[in-house]
Amino acid sequence: MRSQIIAGPAGALHVVDHPAAGAPPAPGAGRAGEALPLVLVHGMVGHTGFWEAPLAHLAGRRRAVAVDLRGHGASEAPVDADYSPAACAADVLAVLDALGLPRVALVGHSFGTLVAIAAAAARPDRVARLVLVDGPGDFTQLPAEIREQQLSPLLAALETDDWRAAARVGFDGALAGSAPATREVVLGRLAATPRDRLLGMYRSMIEFPTVATLDRYLAVPGARAHAIVAPSNAWPFSLHVLRPALAAAVMPETGHWLMMDAPARFTEHLEAWLTAA
């Protein structure tokens, strides 16, 4: 594994680069016949370490790169506080350029699914396969009254001095069904995350046209997308509900951070999709 810093559009970006078996990290996808490289994008309050367990299970099978999103992990925060999916997607594409990866399988978790979708729609030629891990769905598809009654109060609460308590309520809900070790890690990261990161991501997540952006990618000939979700991800605005053609695998007995709850099973689902004809 190699840890390195890459220049991004809005500041330095930290990545960890895991080589395929018997080969050091190198530009491009490697020799002909090698497995498609993976690029992994964490979600809100996460960092590259959230992928540590599944990366251990993937060791030697294919090259895998995990990215710290701007303002997370060891990546710099943008001076303009822009944490929108489009801005973060530009960072991911900059990583592909810097590492010489012309075509990859792009995997995003939670808020990272929005980033992955934005990157795939912007550069479908760079994304051979798109894997959406328990994405938040498309909040723009909710009725206006639901957005006003449920989402607006959350954003308002994040603007108050008691914002950490408001954020904790949301994360406690997302952690339902999670393993105790996962819960401890996630809440620890939440406690260490500044408000501007959370507020910026929540605001942009609620306004991001997820389905329309995903449709742009899927309209490209050869585009392929798949979802791996926790049992709780079955809302009317879930992506695989809004788009039944989006094949989805449900992982039982997991919470929202399913790749941390059950890394071996998660890796099996991931590899099955990546190697499917």
Task: Give residue-wise pLDDT tens across range 107-141.
Answer: 999 999 999 999 999 999 999 999 999 999 999 99
* pLDDT of the residue at 35: 87
Tell me 59's DSSP state. Answer: T
CB contact at 8 A, 54 and 28 = no
* pLDDT of the residue at 61: 86
CA distance 41 to 54: 13
CA distance 9 to 92: 10
Flag whether pLDDT at 25 surpasses 70: no
Average pLDDT over residues 38-62: 93
Question: What are residue 110's phi and psi, to 5 degrees?
Answer: 55, -125
Please work out, in degrees rounded to the nearest 5, the angle formed at the alpha carbon of residue 64 by the alpha carbons of 234 and 119. 55
Write 51-57 long-range contacts (CB < 8 A, 24+).
51/259, 53/259, 53/260, 53/263, 54/259, 54/263, 54/266, 54/267, 54/270, 55/16, 55/18, 56/263, 57/263, 57/264, 57/267
Flag whether pLDDT at 31 surpasses 80: no
Decide: pTM greater than 0.75: yes
Flag whether pLDDT at 188 surpasses 50: yes
Tell me which H or E stretch contains 237. none
* pLDDT of the residue at 219: 96
Per-residue pLDDT band for 57 (boundaries 50, 70, 90) equals confident
Mean pLDDT, rounded, of the chain: 93
* pLDDT of the residue at 138: 96
- Which has more confidence, 31 or 239? 239
Average pLDDT over residues 159-182: 95
Interaxial angle between packed helices 85-99 and 111-122, expressed in degrees from 0 to 180 and rounded to the nearest 10: 60
Question: What are residue 232's phi and psi, to 5 degrees?
Answer: -75, -15
* pLDDT of the residue at 32: 44
CA distance 6 to 16: 11
Q: Is 73 left (phi over 0), alpha (psi -120 to 50) or beta?
A: left
Identity of the residue numbered 125: D
| Sign of the C-alpha dihedral computed for residues 138, 144, 149 and 151 taken in this order | positive
